[in-house]
């Protein structure tokens, strides 16, 4: 505490202080707890300044004082007190820096250092260039008392006192320790800031990584250091794990991390983590971007949406820069190209890190993909990084025995058969439905691997990519069998010739089936793609896959089920029996019922059920007829 007061003088605030303070207190800051961050930032600045003076050989007052920030809380007296052992202030400093809004002692200090040295980084890293952060204290306080003494040995100590209504008083003191003590008399509605838990939460959120000890009632609360600003070679794996747990408030260890320091195009440090668990798929909804933005160890924005794109929102961590422009309240970023540059660097580095992880630790990458693959696929429109993005995609395919298998586009390309020029995929609701699709039969016969797309987003991914290297991505249900003629079949040619011979007898049957189905199909023809299934629906123009049509139909409820080409398999027993019936009696009722049920079955396989009641009715009638035929034997 200061010694006895000597003399005092009253001063009026400049710049119409009463009106301006009202704006600062009620309009500038979103959250009242910002004042704690601002006072800690100012204290850290003051400590940085005096340490720099000591390093350059300046003789300072009270040289044995520890560099620290102390906070004392007294709920009974409604007091919040913060003390630093920093550079302190002279009487002129109090008048010019505290008595004038938008005048910054920090800004002047930087200018002074710049004049003394040609090197731009000669001075310490300092926070605050606006001179208004201190006044946020009036959001919580009715009166503020500052006791300060400059680091200069012969300077006196002073007390500054004001209720923020238009004037302040400066009183000369006989003595006080070097530094600044700010005593805040709290408003009734702000007594929470006399509670230790409340101040700890503010420090944890904003100021935990200040490079000086912060003590509350004698106990240090900032025990986790800003390891992102330290060389990677000095950080142990346990420190990364501890930091991640602190950052996420959970005991789960990270899956992987990226520690990055960059000097160009802008200087910044970052430490980014990928968790092991995706909380979105646990029913907690879409989460915000998990990266917090820091300016010289002080957090200025949590969940910063400008740092990473949405498809990397699962990433947690910090980005810290000394050079970002912050607006007057320090709460949001001014628009500038530096943020875009940081974002571009981080995205490229993260994608490269994931690529390295996939190569060196495939099982770890598989864990990442199973947790975050759905979110990651949203990056299909990141055209600036489309090549890296494509390398990181994983899909199940016909190459795998079950749904657990994953393949990259690069691995697919390595397994392409002789004569294959494109990458093929097939979409469906799940692996089983895709694996049993009639559209897959042609590719099985040719020995061609097909990627299985089982999520609606996959269709948008392929639209965004269009190609992988020199290979186009094509839907199997849009592929013309003739385009695969140069690829030798894995079946014998005799069977193929037999199929061709049988198909010549189908012309009239195809016409009859078309007449029965009417406008529900555009054409009925013999198939060159089927080996096991009796029929399949094919898009007539090939402009859109069946899955994309279903997505569009979901979006537009009024969209009708599209009419498609029906292809029938001349070697399938059902088609052979239908042909026999047709040759005996072209108007036999069985043909109509069989055609209707055949159509409904391929509609189901294609993912459409336009009229389930009609379908069930037809199936039941057919079952009754077949059961009657069976019971006639008894």
Give φ, ψ of 83 to 5 degrees: -130, 135
Q: CA–CA separation, 547 vs 561, rounded Å? A: 12
Where does 494-631 sit in CATH, by number?
Answer: 1.20.120.790
Contacts of 477-485 with CB under 8 Å at 24 or more apart are 477/426, 477/427, 477/437, 477/439, 477/538, 477/539, 477/545, 477/546, 478/539, 478/542, 478/544, 478/545, 479/424, 479/442, 480/542, 481/442, 481/528, 481/529, 482/528, 484/442, 484/446, 484/448
For 235-271, what is each residue's pLDDT tens digit?
A: 999 999 999 999 988 889 999 999 999 987 789 999 9
Common-topology check for domains 393-484 and 494-631 = no
CB 379 within 8 A of CB 312: yes
Report long-range pairs for 329-336 (Cβ below 8 Å, ≥24 apart).
329/28, 329/29, 329/30, 329/34, 329/132, 330/34, 330/37, 330/38, 330/128, 330/130, 330/133, 330/295, 330/300, 331/29, 331/30, 331/34, 331/300, 331/301, 332/301, 333/293, 333/300, 333/301, 333/304, 333/306
Output the DSSP codes for 61-76. Answer: SSTT----EEEEEETT
Rounded distance, CA 110 to CA 114, Å? 6
Q: How far from 630 is each of 268, 270, 623, 626, CA to CA, in Å?
A: 81, 76, 10, 6
Question: Which pLDDT score, from 0 to 100, does residue 567 have?
Answer: 94
CA–CA separation, 426 and 396 (whole Å): 11
Can you read off the two tokens belonging to residue 613?
Answer: 């009641």
Q: Is the dihedral of CA 270, 274, 275, 279 positive or negative?
A: positive
Q: Is the pLDDT of residue 632 over 80?
A: no
In whole angstroms, give the CA distance from residue 205 to residue 215: 16
Lowest mean pLDDT segment, chosen from 164-168, 274-278, 517-521: 164-168
C-alpha–C-alpha distance, residues 452 and 101, integer Å: 64
Could you give the angle at the alpha carbon of 147 between the alpha carbons of 13 and 115, nearest 5°?
Answer: 70
Greater confidence (97 vs 233) lies with 233
**The pLDDT of residue 151:** 96
Alpha-carbon 68 to chain mean position = 37
Task: Read off the pLDDT band of 303 (50, 70, 90).
Answer: confident
CA 627 to chain CA centroid, Å, is 59
User: Is residue 439 within 8 Å of 529, Cβ to Cβ?
Assistant: yes
Beta-ladder partners of 318: 271, 292
Instruction: Return d(Cα 368, Cα 275) in angstroms, integer.
Output: 8
* 269's tokens: 């440090």
Lowest-pLDDT range of 65-69, 180-184, 329-333, 440-444:
329-333
| 558 confidence band (pLDDT: 50, 70, 90) | low
19/497: higher pLDDT: 19
Model pLDDT, residue 129: 46
Mean pLDDT of 177-194: 96
Q: What is the pLDDT of residues 15-29, one digit of tens each?
A: 555 666 676 666 656
Terminal-to-terminal C-alpha distance of the chain: 111
Other CB atoms closer than 10 Å to residue 404's CB: what's the count?
Answer: 10
For 138, half-sphere exposure in the C-beta direction (CA atoms, 13 angstrom radius) is 22
Pair 324, 338: CB distance under 8 Å: yes
Q: So what CATH class is 227-355?
A: alpha beta
Mean pLDDT throughout 614-630?
68
The number of beta carbons lying within 10 Å of the beta carbon of residue 386 is: 17
For residues 114 and 619, which has the higher predicted lDDT (pLDDT)? 619
Range with the poorest average pLDDT among 216-225, 443-452, 484-493: 484-493
Find out if CATH 3.90.1150.10 is the number for domain 393-484: no
CA distance 294 to 207: 10
Domain ranges within the chain, ordered by starting residue: 5-220, 227-355, 393-484, 494-631
Output the furthest CA–CA distance in the chain (Å, rounded): 123
Which fold is adopted by the domain 5-220?
Heat Shock Protein 90 (3.30.565)
Contact 235, 228 (CB under 8 A): no
Quote the percentage of the chain above a pLDDT of 90. 54
**Higher-pLDDT residue of 15, 480:** 480
pLDDT, greater one: 439 or 609: 439
In the chain, % of residues over pLDDT 70: 79
User: If you average pLDDT over each of 295-299, 362-366, 593-597, which comes out highest?
Assistant: 362-366
Nearest C-alpha neighbor of 415 from the set 448, 462, 390, 460: 448
Return the C-alpha torsion angle 201, 206, 211, 217, nearest 10.
Answer: -30
Residue among 65, 67, 69, 26 nearest 203 (CA): 69
pLDDT tens digits, 36-69: 999 999 999 999 999 999 998 899 999 999 999 9
CA dihedral 205, 211, 212, 213 (to 10 degrees): 50
How far apart CA 616 and CA 165 sit, in angstroms, is: 81
Residue 226 pLDDT greater than 60, yes or no? yes
State mean pLDDT over 405-430: 94
What is the pTM for the complete model shown?
0.81
- Across the strands, what pairs with 262? 268
Residues contacting residue 290 through CB under 8 Å, at least 6 positions apart: 303, 313, 314, 315, 316, 317
Residue 493 CA to residue 495 CA, distance in Å, equals 5
The residue with tokens 């009253």 is 10
Contact 168, 55 (CB under 8 A): no
Mean predicted lDDT score pLDDT of the chain: 84
Per residue, what are the HEC states of 244-302? HHHHHCCCCCCCEEEEEEECCCCCEEEEEEECCCCCHHHCCCCCCCEEEEEECCEEEEC
What span, in angstroms and rounded, lies between the C-alpha atoms of 272 and 317?
Answer: 4
Q: Give me the pLDDT at residue 601, please.
A: 87
The 3-state DSSP composition of the chain as helix, strand, coil percent (nearest 5) reads 45, 20, 35
């Amino acid at each position: 505490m200061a010694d006895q007061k000597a003399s005092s003088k009253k001063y009026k605030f400049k710049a119409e202080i009463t009106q301006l303070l009202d704006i600062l207190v009620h309009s500038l800051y979103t959250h009242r707890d910002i004042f704690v961050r601002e006072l800690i930032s100012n204290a850290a600045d003051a400590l940085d300044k005096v340490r720099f003076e000591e390093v350059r050989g300046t003789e300072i007052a009270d040289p044995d004082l520890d560099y620290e920030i102390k906070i004392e809380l007294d709920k009974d007296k409604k007091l919040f007190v913060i003390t630093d052992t920093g550079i302190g202030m002279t009487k002129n400093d109090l008048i010019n820096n505290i008595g004038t809004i938008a005048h910054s002692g920090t800004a002047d200090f930087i200018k002074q250092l710049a004049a003394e040295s040609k090197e731009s980084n000669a001075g310490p890293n300092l926070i605050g260039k606006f001179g208004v952060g201190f006044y946020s204290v009036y959001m919580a306080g009715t009166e503020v008392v500052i006791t300060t003494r400059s680091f200069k040995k012969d300077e006196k100590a002073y007390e500054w006192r004001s209720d923020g209504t238009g004037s302040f008083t400066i009183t000369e003191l006989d003595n006080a320790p070097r530094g600044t003590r700010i005593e805040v008399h709290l408003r009734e509605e702000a007594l929470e800031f006399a509670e230790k838990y409340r101040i700890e939460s503010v420090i944890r959120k904003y100021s935990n990584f200040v490079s000086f000890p912060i003590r509350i009632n004698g106990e240090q609360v900032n025990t986790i250091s800003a390891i992102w600003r330290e060389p990677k070679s000095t950080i142990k794996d346990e420190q990364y794990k501890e930091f991640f747990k602190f950052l996420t408030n959970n005991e789960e260890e990270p899956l992987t991390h990226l520690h990055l320091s960059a000097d160009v195009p802008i200087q910044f440090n970052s430490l980014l983590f990928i968790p092991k668990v995706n909380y979105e798929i646990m029913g907690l909804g879409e989460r915000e971007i998990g990266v917090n933005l820091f300016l010289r160890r002080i957090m200025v924005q949590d969940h910063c949406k400008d740092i990473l794109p949405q498809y990397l929102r699962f990433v947690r961590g910090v980005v810290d820069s000394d050079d970002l422009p912050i607006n007057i309240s320090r709460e949001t970023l001014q628009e500038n190209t530096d943020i875009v540059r940081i974002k571009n660097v981080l995205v490229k580095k993260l994608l490269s890190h994931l690529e390295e992880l996939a190569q060196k630790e495939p099982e770890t990458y598989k864990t990442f993909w199973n947790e975050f693959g759905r979110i990651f696929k949203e990056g299909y429109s990141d055209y600036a990084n489309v090549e890296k993005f494509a390398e990181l995609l994983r899909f199940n395919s016909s190459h795998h025995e079950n749904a657990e298998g994953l393949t990259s586009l690069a691995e697919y390309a390595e397994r392409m058969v002789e004569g294959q020029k494109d990458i093929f995929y097939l979409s469906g609701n799940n692996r089983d439905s895709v694996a049993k699709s009639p559209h897959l039969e042609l590719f099985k016969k040719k020995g061609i691997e097909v990627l299985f797309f089982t999520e609606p987003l996959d269709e948008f991914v392929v639209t965004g990519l269009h190609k992988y290297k020199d290979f186009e991505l094509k839907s199997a249900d849009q592929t013309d069998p003739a385009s695969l003629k140069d690829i030798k079949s894995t079946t014998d040619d005799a069977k193929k010739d037999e199929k061709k011979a049988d198909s010549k007898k189908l012309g009239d049957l195809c016409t009859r089936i078309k007449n029965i189905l009417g406008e529900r199909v555009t054409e009925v023809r013999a198939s060159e793609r089927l080996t096991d299934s009796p029929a399949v629906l094919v898009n007539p123009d090939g402009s859109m896959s069946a899955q994309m049509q279903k997505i569009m139909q979901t979006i537009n409820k009024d969209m009708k089920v599209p009419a498609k080409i029906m292809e029938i398999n001349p070697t399938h027993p059902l088609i052979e029996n239908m042909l026999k019936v047709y040759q005996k009696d072209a108007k036999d009722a069985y043909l109509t019922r069989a055609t209707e049920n055949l159509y409904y079955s391929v509609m189901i396989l294609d993912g459409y059920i336009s009229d389930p009641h009609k379908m069930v009715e037809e199936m039941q009638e057919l079952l009754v007829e077949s059961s009657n035929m069976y019971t006639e034997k008894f």
